[in-house]
Chain A
Amino acid sequence: MRRRLISILLIFCLLLLISSPAIAQSYSFQLPEVTVDAYWNSDGTLSLDYTFLFVNNPSGHIIDYVDLGLPNNNYSDSNITAFVDGNQVFDISSSGFKGEGGSGVAFGLGQYSIPPGSSGTVRAHVENITGVLYIDNQDNNYASAVFGTSYFGSSYVSGKTDLTLTFHLPPDVKPEEPKWHAAPSGFSSEPSTGFDDQGRITYTWENANANGYTQYQFGASFPKTYVPSNAIVTVNPFAGVGKFISAAIVPILCIGGFIAIVAAGLASDSRRKKQYLPPKISIEGHGIKRGLTAVEAAILLEESLDKIMTMILFSVIKKNSAEVTTRDPLEIKINQPIPEDLQLYEKDFLTAFQKSGSDRKKGLRDMVVNLVKNVSEKMKGFSRQETVAYYRDITKRAWEQVEAANTPEVKSQKYEEVMEWTMLDRDYGDRTQEVFRNTPVFVPVWWGHYDPGFGNVASKPIGAPISTGVGSPGLPGADFAASMANGVQSFSSKVVGNINDFTSSITSITNPPPKVSTTSSKGGYRGGGGSSCACACACAGCACACAGGGR
């Protein structure tokens, strides 16, 4: 009589506990690693790759035959190959399969049989098993693919098994479409997902503490459109199988006393779950709003108002529209006529400074309110999040240009070119001091119009054109940096008094109390929208185009 590992239907675990001792004592081995790849093909068939690492115990019988259970009989022996330690074996037959009540194939290992005390790797490949898919009974638009791993009798196999099973879903199935079913105990509830070298979605379950005598059943469902409709079994042949098992099969199998290796294509209905993707809500619209000035970007980035007004001050000075006459208190002289190409907020700024006291303060407040509203208008339909990231990146790159300059002259020139963008940096003051601490600064030619005490340029006639570019060195870097930083910090005290009160007077107009807890507002004004924002219409995703016009 041939002594061998033989198989039966794995689902009947009960019989394993009462297998025939005479046979059971013949084999004793461990199964430290089992790897299974199940390929659910576009033609609706299943291909399997099994790799077993057998460690035969010294007292065990030589492992000369291995049975591999399969889901059904819908396969051809010619589509099966097997190897032992890389050596192909040719003794493959369905007729030799000894599993009771199931389907499968037997491998005769022949000269590559694994002796007691040795180990060997058995690989088996089975192609194109048909009749393995069923309609998912929770969604009849889905095909259900369920697979149970082979296992051996607990009398023969001992120790832990590192079991890895990978489902390769049909080609072109999209990541959001398939759903996995509940995993067996001991496996993570969520498989690892990925793509194989063919771009197919993979679900991988692994358990280093599995064993070789338990059947583990896994499942997934995917839209049935990815396989031919005639490849899906419409009637589950195992319907009512539970009753049948308990009433008839189990007693028969107990008598037979076989051990089991099988893969089963049962449709498990009750425990399947969809893959959880983080919830996402999206809306059609624009992405980045390009073309904002640095001052407008500062509004969007919710920079402090004293910094923003300092930026405007620099801006009008650079455009030769004004110059500082005294810095404490801050007073400016406005050059007439005011150039036409000034931004509206620059004009409003100058207009405000033509007044004094509370009128000036009110003028500056109105200037900021209008600026916030205009930025809100410009941002309609654009993504605030992406736009903020865009201008943050511009700021980052502006600093990189300055820091990469090799000489003080080039550094100063670069700084003058991108100064308004560097000011958007929250660490603008510290960073300016860091960059210029140990280097002389070639101050911009307009610097004297900002710093009346700086003599080199102060003698220029008021209103004379000021070219952009770099003047002569005349200010230690540290002094320059401190002047820049302090200029920002002290703007409020010199012009608008308490900056918090000033900001509150603006937010009471531009930004009613936030409505949603998810808003990431830092408590400042909002330049990017608000409850009155009309983005819903500004976005593309509505059907109002051509809605009845033209009659």
Chain B
Amino acid sequence: MNSVINKIKSKVTSRNDSLPKQGLYHFDFQEIGERSRIHLRIDPDGSGLLIVNANRIVHLNPTAALMAFLILQKSPHNQAIRKLTKAFAVTAAQASVDYAQIANQVNELIKPNGACPIHDLELDVTPPFSSKPSAPYRMDLAVTYRCNNDCSHCYNARSRDYPELSTKDWHLILDRLWEIGIPHVVFTGGEPTLRNDLPELIAHAEKNGQITGINTNGRRLSDYDYVDSLVKAGLDHVQITFESYNPDIHDSMVNAHGAWKQTFAGIRNVLETSLYVMTNTTMLSDNSSTLPQTLEFLADTGVPTIGLNALIYSGRGLSVNTGLAESALPSLLHCAREITSQHNQRLIWYTPTQYCNFDPMQLELGVKGCTAAMYNMCIEPNGDVIPCQSYYQALGNILTTRWRSIWNHELSIYLRERKGIPSKCSACSLVKECGGGCPLVMKTKGIV
């Protein structure tokens, strides 16, 4: 491990020789063919959160948090032990033994293809959704509600001409999010590429140390020069909505003739870059029958990661009537799992469901539950903060409302603490994982 680390070129955004204060620290480890963006969030009580490539998240008690900081800073061993014995009532011998063990674990955790934290590192496993973060891990930034598609199932409940903040205001927001401790931002909409300042916003976030992504219909990405400008701005990942391998079905679902052609060109363009690329497909009655062909098509195209989700019951999604019953999902996802597995693709299933109808764990899709106002939130084009990008109830404005008020808003707590779980679920052994499914579904169907 040491030899690996020695090869790593480290860039520490917030380097400080003193002990870490509360806040977010960014570390960028690079070597040929492998890069790790690491964020260490130190909470007021000294505990920490280690976030690897905005994906793997582990929790650190105060001792481990300080050790992780010293490890990521590559503090010389003796110097680290001195700092530990200065900060804690501990002997140097004990600190040295513990530090070596944590160093092994942290150095493995930060590698993109490192050891499994559960099976190889045998970290303590806490129940799903049991952590109480001090801020979300990810903030979605709906920079505009304008869109060059017109999806009949779109969850957007706002008008397309919704007021938009200036570039300068978004810079302030990005800075504010960094102060709050949010390491990952995703530009979304509407269609974020319709904002001409998107590369500038990405560059600003990257300068802060944030990991950036965009959720897009991909049409503007058909212009390779534009893709190049995003890459040069520092963009890390892109998710492109792709509804079907069949252009007619796709264009019909997005209500835009010729959209498929541009979107597919966009996919091919981003696959030429170093960006982390994935597609997302909403499984509806319109396209579910073509799912196998769509997945085979994407595999042939070389898309490494496939996202799938069900209808979101918001905006037009409330009335489109093309949503699939949860009970119809298992066969589709089983098929998707087989195809992606054959092609060594990663499959990500997004939609929180009621596990009594569809249990993603049975298909090895992982634990999926609503994480609104807990692990992720969304900011609207005018700066209002909403629990997630499809739950349109403002909790305050990021530019004018104290973060604590937003985070501890009654609705935030209601969602975070899952107070809306139907009473029928209380005795279910999977209630912690399931959480009752999507709150919007419960709300729409009058379950609560």
Contact = CB atoms under 8 A, between A and B. Distances in A.
Interface of B: 1, 44-47, 50, 54-64, 67, 86-91, 94-95, 98-99, 101-102, 104-106, 108-109, 113-131, 136-138, 140, 149, 151, 153-156, 184, 186, 188, 215, 217, 239, 241, 280, 282, 307-309, 311-312, 314, 317, 346, 348, 350-352, 361, 364-372, 375-376, 388-390, 433, 438
Given A533-B119, A544-B348, A276 B1 contact: no
Contacts of A517: 1, 104
A382 interface: yes
Contacts of A383: 118, 122, 125
A379 B120 CA distance: 12
Contacts of B127: 284, 287
Contact of A550 (B50, B109, B367, B390): B390
Contact of B130 (A284, A380, A514, A533): A284
Interface string A529-551: 11101111111111111111111
Please indicate which of the listed interface residues A223, A285, A287, A551 has the most CB atoms of chain B within 10 Å of its own CB.
Answer: A551
Given A547-B138, A549-B280, 16 more contacts: A176-B62, A274-B46, A283-B117, A285-B128, A286-B433, A531-B113, A534-B346, A535-B118, A539-B118, A539-B367, A541-B57, A541-B58, A546-B351, A546-B370, A546-B438, A551-B280
Contacts of B351: 545-546, 549
A275 interface: yes
A200 interface: no
A218 B280 CA distance: 60
B352 A540 contact: no
A275 B123 CA distance: 22
Interface of A: 141, 176-177, 180, 182, 189-190, 223, 273-287, 377, 379-386, 514-520, 526, 528-531, 533-551
Please indicate which of the listed interface residues A282, A379, A530 has the most CB atoms of chain B within 10 Å of its own CB.
Answer: A282
B60 A280 contact: yes
A514 B215 CA distance: 37
Contacts of B156: 551
Looking at chain A's contact residues, the main secondary structure is: loop
A386 to B, nearest CB: 7
Contacts of A384: 118-119, 122
B153 to A, nearest CB: 7
Contacts of B98: 278-279
B62 A277 contact: yes
B59 A551 contact: no
A129 to B, nearest CB: 27
A286 B375 CA distance: 18
17 contacts: A176-B45, A273-B86, A274-B87, A276-B95, A277-B63, A278-B98, A279-B63, A280-B124, A517-B104, A518-B121, A530-B119, A536-B55, A539-B118, A544-B350, A546-B312, A546-B351, A546-B372
A530 B348 contact: no
B188 A548 contact: yes
B115 A273 contact: no
B350 A529 contact: no
B139 to A, nearest CB: 10
A385 B61 contact: no
Contacts of B131: 284, 541
A64 B317 CA distance: 87
A26 to B, nearest CB: 42
Nearest to B347: A537
Contacts of A277: 61-63
A281 B102 contact: yes
Contacts of A282: 58-59, 123-126
A550 B138 contact: no
B366 A539 contact: yes
B186 A545 contact: no
A530 B113 CA distance: 10
Given A176-B45, A273-B88, A536-B55, A518 B105 contact: yes
A278 B91 CA distance: 12
Given A176-B61, A284-B127, A530-B116, A279 B102 contact: yes
B104 A281 contact: no
Given A538-B366, A539-B366, A546 B388 contact: yes
B63 A283 contact: no
A516 B309 contact: no
A135 B248 CA distance: 68
A545 B120 contact: no
Contacts of A176: 45, 47, 61-62
